[in-house]
Structure 1
């Protein structure tokens, strides 16, 4: 842990050796995976819906 002192010698704040941005990249990667799965799911659902609509329209005639 790193301690930061002011000119008067008072302790201003303590810093951990770990950077504040260390947790951001894994969090963003997790969100990216979730969004990718969501997009693929929407594409699959849309494709199936269009196929069903076309099937119903073609078999009606």
Structure 2
């Protein structure tokens, strides 16, 4: 399996990919900082639209 970033290309063999998949999930602690991780798809899209609209030059 190969994946690419803007500057680098990474190749994983089957063993490495299985190790990544089988690693335990990271629990995200609750903070008072807003994030969209727990929003559903439509809420994420609405939030992204609000952010983009707020960045438009007026």
* Greater share of residues in strand: 1
Which has the higher Rg, Structure 1 or Structure 2?
1
Common topology (TM > 0.5): no
> What TM-score do the two structures reach when normalised by structure 2?
0.31
* Greater share of residues in helix: 1
> What TM-score do the two structures reach when normalised by structure 1?
0.29
